Structure 1
Amino acid sequence: MFNFSMKTLAVTAVFLGGASVAQADVTLRGASMFDEEHAFTKTLREFERLVAEKYDGEVDFDLRLNGELGVESDYVTYLNQGVAVDYTILAPSNMAVFSESIPLMDMPFLFRDLEHWDAVLSSDALKPLEDDLREAAGIVIVGYHGGGVRNLASAEPITNMDELAGHRMRVMGAPIQAQTFSAVGAAPSAIAYNEVYNAIQTGVIAGFENEAASIQNLKFYEVAPHVSLTQHTITVRPIVMSAKIFDELPADLQAAIMEAGAEAGAFGRALESGQDGEKLQAMIDAGQIEVHEFEGREKMLELVQPVQDAYAEELGATELLNNVRGM
C-alpha cells in the first residue's frame, strides 16, 4: 500500500508540472521531434541509460517522439517554465528568444572542420554562453550533440553566388542566421520549421538549409530535391534541461545528469557526424536528391566574417569568438 501511494504521488506531481520527486521515485519527461532512428532520439536514449546507470536511486523517463509535444520553439517555452518537457536537444537559434548570445555557438562558418568543432565542444570555451542561457532562459546545458553538416536544399539548383542572389530561403529564428545569409546575397525568412515543407510546395520560399538527417527523416527531398554543398555549418545541438526541474533534483542525481550529459553528447557527436555522409549518399542512391558542388564558398567566408565580428562585439563576446577561432 505504501509503495502504491508513493507512485500515485509521483504521477500526480507529473500532471501538476515539473519532474516528479517522491523520495527515490523520479520521472523526467523528454521530447524529440523525430522517431527512434534519428540521431537526436538515439542520443537522448543514451542519456537516459547513462543517468540510470550512474544514479543510485530510481529514475524513470517518459520520452515523447515524433513531435507529439510540438516543435523546438515549444520545447524552449516549456523548459523555461518548467512544465511538460524536462529534457531535450535543441538548436541554439531556437533559444534566442531568451538568450540573444546563445546562437553564437551555432552561427554559420564558425568552425573550420570537424576536428575544430569537436575540440571546441570538448572544452569549456562555450561556458560564458552556458551561464548566460541558464540565467536568461532557465535552461541548463548538460552536454553537446551535433555534427550534421548543413547545406542548402532547394526546389531548383543553387550552384554559385549568382544563383544564390535573391534566393528565398528559410532560416532559423536567431537574427545572426538571417544576417549571415543576407550578407551572401540570399533573401532569408525566419518561418516555423513545421511550415517549411508547405512553404516550399506553395512557392512562399524556394528552399532552406539543413543537415542530411532532417532532410531524409522529414522527407524534405520531395519538395527540395537539390542539395548544394555550401557546408556552411557544423551543427551544435545542446542537450538541455529545465533549470527549474534540475534545481529541485537531489544533488547526486544532478551530478549523474551532468556526467551522463557529457558522455551522451560525445556519443551523439560521433553518431551524427558519422551518419551525415551516409544519409546524404542514401538519398542520392535512392534518386531522392541531386547534389551540386557550390562555387564561391571562399567568397561567402569573406562576406560573412564582418557579420560575425559585429555580432560578437554587440554581445560583448569578441574574446570568446577569437578563442574559438584560435583553437
Structure 2
Amino acid sequence: MLFNKSVKTLVKATLVGVAIAAFTSSVSAETLRGASMFDDKHTFTKTMVKFGELVEKHYDGDVEFDLRLNSELGVEKDYVTFLNQGVAIDYTILAPSNMARFAPSIPLMDMPFLFRDLEHWNTALGSDVMAPLEKELSDKADIVIVGYAGGGTRNLLSKNPVGNLEELKGHKMRVMGAPIQAQIFDALGAAPSAIAYNEVYNAIQTGVIAGFENEAASIQNLKFYEVAPNVTLTGHTITVRPIVFSGKKFRKLPAKLQEAIMQAGKEAGAFGRELESREDAIKLKEMSDAKQIIVSEFEGREKLLDMVKPVQDKFAESIEATELLKAIRSK
C-alpha cells in the first residue's frame, strides 16, 4: 500500500511538473502581431513573412507570429496609431508619409524625385544616411525602424491619359497625406488632394478625383486598373517602405529578441527591396499583356526634375533637414 501510494504521488507530481512546464513555456513565448493591407502575394506581405522567419532564425527562444492580411486590422493610417499607442499590432510596413502627423520630417524619405535612379536609392538605404529621421520617428512617434523595404517605382495612374505637362495641368489626383506630396505635384501644375487610401477606388469611380499615383504591386493587388487603366511612367518615386515596430512593445521584449528583430529587420529589408524592385516591371508587363492597363511615357520628364527642386529645398529647410537632403543627393 505504501509503495502504491508513493508511486501515485510520484506520478501525480510528475504530471503537475509537466503541466507547469507547459504552462511556463506557453507564458514565456512571445507573440508578435503584424498587419498587411494586402494578400499573401503582395511583396509587403512576403517581406513580413520573411521577417518572421529571420527573427526565429536569429532568436534562441520561443516566439510566434500572428500576421493579419487583407486590411483585417485597418489601413496604414490606423497602423500608425496602433503602433504609437502600443495596441493591436506590433509591426508592419509603412509609407513614411503616413507617419507625418507624428514625425514631420519623416516624409523626406518619401519625397517625389528624391532618388536619381535605382542604384542611388539602394546605395542610400544601404547606408546610415537616414539615421536622423529614424531618431525623430522614435522620439516623436515611439515607432522603431528595424529595416527598409520598398523598391516599387511609383507612376501616375489615371482614368484618362495624362502624358505631358499640359495634360497634367489641373489634373485632380490623390496624393498621400504628407504636405510635401501635395506641394510637389502642385508645383507641376496638378490639383492634388489627400484622401484616404481605402477611398481611392470609389473616388475615381465617382469622379471626385481623376487619378492618383502608385506602384505596380498595389495597382495589381487592389485592381485599381479597373477604374484607372492609364499608367504614365513618371518614375517620380522609388519607394522607401520602412519595416516598423511599436516602441512600447519593443522595450518590453527580452534583449536577445530585440537584437534578433533588428538583425532580421535589416535582412528582411534587403530581401524586400530586391523582391519589389525585381517584380515591379514584371507586374506592369503582366497587366499590360492582359490589357488591363495602357502604359505610356511622360513627355519631357527631365523638366520635372528641375521644376520640383526648389520645392524639395524649401521643404528640407522648413524641417531643418537641408544637410540631410544634401547627404542623400550626394550618395
Tell me, yes or no, whether TM beats 0.5.
yes
CA drift of 1:164 comes to: 0.1
Mapped to 2, the partners of 1:77 and 1:3 lie a distance apart of 37
* Counterparts of residues 158-307 of structure 1 (less than 5 Å): 158-307=162-311
* Counterparts of residues 119-134 of structure 1 (less than 5 Å): 119-134=123-138
1:310 is aligned, of 308, 314, 325, to 314
Q: Deviations over 1:190-228 (max 9, x none)?
A: 000000000000000000000000000000000000000
Q: Deviations over 1:136-168 (max 9, x none)?
A: 000000000000000000000001000000000
Cross-structure match for 2:87: 83
What residue identity is the alignment partner of 1:154? S
Corresponding pairs, count: 313
The question of 1:2 aligning with 2:39 is answered no
The question of 1:57 aligning with 2:25 is answered no
The question of 1:74 aligning with 2:92 is answered no
The question of 1:94 aligning with 2:112 is answered no
What residue identity is the alignment partner of 2:219? I
Q: Percent identity?
A: 69
What residue identity is the alignment partner of 2:80? V
1:110 aligned counterpart, secondary structure: coil
Q: TM-score, normalised by structure 2?
A: 0.93
Q: TM-score, normalised by structure 1?
A: 0.95
Cross-structure match for 1:16: none
2:284 aligned counterpart, secondary structure: helix
Mapped to 2, the partners of 1:180 and 1:3 lie a distance apart of 59
Mapped to 2, the partners of 1:86 and 1:272 lie a distance apart of 23
Unmatched tracts of structure 2, length 5 or more: 1-18
CA drift of 1:3 comes to: 4.3
Q: Deviations over 1:262-287 (max 9, x none)?
A: 00000000000000000000000000
What residue identity is the alignment partner of 1:147? G
Mapped to 2, the partners of 1:69 and 1:3 lie a distance apart of 33
2:37 aligned counterpart, secondary structure: coil
CA drift of 1:4 comes to: 5.0
Mapped to 1, the partners of 2:187 and 2:24 lie a distance apart of 58
Q: Deviations over 1:21-55 (max 9, x none)?
A: x43x1000000001111000000000000000100
What residue identity is the alignment partner of 2:307? L
CA drift of 1:81 comes to: 0.3
Mapped to 1, the partners of 2:106 and 2:179 lie a distance apart of 11
CA drift of 1:300 comes to: 1.2
Cross-structure match for 1:108: 112
Mapped to 1, the partners of 2:239 and 2:289 lie a distance apart of 24
The list of structure 1 runs, each at least 4 consecutive aligned residues, that deviate by more than 3 angstroms after superposition, is 3-7
Which is greater in Rg? Answer: 2
Mapped to 1, the partners of 2:21 and 2:177 lie a distance apart of 47
What residue identity is the alignment partner of 1:2? I
Q: Deviations over 1:84-115 (max 9, x none)?
A: 01000000000001000000011000000000
Unmatched tracts of structure 1, length 5 or more: 11-21
Cross-structure match for 1:17: none
What residue identity is the alignment partner of 1:316? E
CA drift of 1:296 comes to: 2.0
Alpha-carbon RMSD: 0.9
Mapped to 2, the partners of 1:202 and 1:280 lie a distance apart of 25
Cross-structure match for 2:45: 41
What residue identity is the alignment partner of 1:214? S
1:247 aligned counterpart, secondary structure: helix
1:148 is aligned, of 143, 152, 158, to 152
1:137 is aligned, of 141, 145, 165, to 141
